[in-house]
Each structure stands twice: as structure tokens, then as C-alpha cells.
Amino acid sequence: MNIVSYLTQKKKIVDRALDACLKKPAETPPELSRAMRYSALAGGKRLRPILCMAAAEVVGGREKDVLPVACALELIHTHSLIYDDLPCMDDDDYRRGKLTCHKKFGEATAVLAGDALLVKAFELLSDMMRKKEDGISADRRLHAVNEIASAIGDRGLCAGQIVDLASEGKKISTRTLKYIHVHKTAALIVASVRCGALLGGANEKQLKALTKYAECTGLAFQIQDDVLDVLGDEKKLGKKAGQDEKMGKNTYPKLFGIEASKKKATALKNEAVASLRAFDKKAEPLRGIAEFFVRRDF
């Protein structure tokens, strides 16, 4: 399958849905709405929502039924990017080819826009809890919401981020590096796949296989991100390269070198693809996404 055209087509679906859910309600202050829309509609790859939809479809679910959850995942991801770029965190001026939210709107507005996007995500998720017509059980819906909440807080993104920040300029073990990557990046990727699978109707065995797939691709994604920070083209990346080195970040290339990092990412990709062996050709998008994660140049 042509994974690039698949991703392009799915991105359009997600972009349209995000645009609709971020239409400014009359009572929202215009500056807040502008900042939320600026960052959320700034042209990300939409990989987390696409993974969620692909995971639902591989177990027989329908894309349209998980689209609100897919959007919620992207809003959470955007929140994390806005925060990650703040001066108190990674202090970046560019993201997705544009000025970062705080550079464009100021720090206070960026923090509030990030918060409002995070809360909007849970608004979408709680709206989803009330739906009945798609036949998904209340138990599965609740499970999905819980997966997301546990993936982003003190055992997920926040945990990975705080250890990442505390490790800047220090020598850390391979174990700590893996902890950072697994929590700061892979956790949301795993939650995206697991939510799609749960809502799509996965049985225990399918959920286990898809979780393994997501853990491997999630880590491979961050390793490739580290590699791109060294080798990538700033225009394609839409942000400054070489930032990890500048900030004294601990990365796979820093600890093991570029070639070993690429090999590790490829080995993880192979493991991810192998975990899909029980699925038929409906799993082609997931296989393609795993390949894309380690071959991408943006």
C-alpha cells in the first residue's frame, strides 16, 4: 500500500473534524480561540488520531465512531507541544513551520490555550461517553478515557517530561533514557492504538498484540525523532534542528551514535510488524505506519 497517500487522506479527515470542533463558541474570548486554532490547526502529521482510527478498523470497528476520540488525542498532543516549547521547558521558537504559540501570542495566552485544548479533549471524551447509537459498550468507552488519562499524567507524559528536563546536561543510564522516551512519547502512541482497539471491539489477544505493536513503534518514533534532530532538514521538520545537542539532551544518537540508533529503530519496527502477524490485510495501514515512523524525514 502507498502509506503516504493513506496518511494524506486520513490527515484530511482529521483536519476537517478538528476544524469543526474548534469553531469558536460565541462566549470564547477571540484571542484564546485564535491561539488554540493556531496551534491545533498548524499542520501536524496527525499520526496519533490516524493510529487510533487504523487500530479500530483492524479489529472491525468504524473510523467514524472513533473520530471524536482521535481528535481528543490530537488536542492533547498539541497541548503537550505548546507546553514543551515554552521557555521553562525546551524553549523553542518554531513548531510545525510556524512561530511557537508563546512566540506568537505570549506565554500567558500559550499556557491558557494549551490548557483549553487539554480540557476540550476531555469534553470530547465525555460527549463520547453519552453516545449510544454506535453500539460500543459504556465499559469500553470508560476504559478508553481511563487509558488516555493514565497515559498523560504522573505515570505518562508528565513523568517522562520531568525526567527529561532533570536529565539535561547529565550523564544518564540507558534505562533512564528508555524511561524518558517511553513516557514522554510512546505513552500517547500506545494510548492512541489501545483506545482505537478497545472502541473497535478488540478481544484480549488482539489488544495484547496491538499494545506490543504500539510500544515498539512508539519507541522507534522517538528514536527517529532524535536522529532527525541531528540529520534532519529544518525546512522539512518545521522546527530548528540541533536543539537536543544545544540543550544537553540525552538522546539515542548521543548515547549510542547515529548508526546504532537507526539499527535500534529498525529492530523495533520489525518487532512491531511481527506482532501483527495474526491480522490479515486490514493491518496493512498499521504495518505501513510502522515503516513510515522509521523512514520519515519530517
Residue of minimal Cβ distance to ligand GRG: 44
Q: Which three cell numbers stand for residue 173?
A: 543510564
Give the residue, chosen from 39, 44, 73, 194, that forms a contact with ligand GRG under the rule CB under 6 A. Answer: 44
152 part of the interface to ligand GRG, by CB under 6 A: yes
The CA distance from 55 to 206, in Å, is: 10
96 part of the interface to ligand GRG, by CB under 6 A: yes
Please answer whether residues 217 and 289 qualify as being in contact, where contact means their C-beta atoms are separated by less than 8 angstroms: yes
81 part of the interface to ligand GRG, by CB under 6 A: yes
Q: What share of the chain is helix, strand, coil (3-state, %, to 5)?
A: 75, 0, 25
84 part of the interface to ligand GRG, by CB under 6 A: yes
Choice between 77 and 141, CB closer to ligand GRG:
77
Q: Return the residue matching grid coordinates 470530547.
A: 124
45 part of the interface to ligand GRG, by CB under 6 A: yes
Give the residue, chosen from 100, 161, 206, 217, that forms a contact with ligand GRG under the rule CB under 6 A. Answer: 161
Choice between 79 and 262, CB closer to ligand GRG:
79
Residue 23 has phi, psi (to 5 degrees) of -60, 135
For ligand GRG (CB under 6 A), the number of binding residues is 20
* Number of Cβ within a 10 Å radius of residue 203: 9
Choice between 259 and 298, CB closer to ligand GRG:
298
The CA distance from 143 to 270, in Å, is: 29
Please answer whether residues 124 and 75 qualify as being in contact, where contact means their C-beta atoms are separated by less than 8 angstroms: yes
83 part of the interface to ligand GRG, by CB under 6 A: yes
47 part of the interface to ligand GRG, by CB under 6 A: yes
The CA distance from 220 to 232, in Å, is: 16
Write out the residues near ligand GRG by the rule CB under 6 A: 44-45, 47, 76-77, 79-81, 83-84, 96, 118, 152, 157-158, 161, 184-185, 222, 225
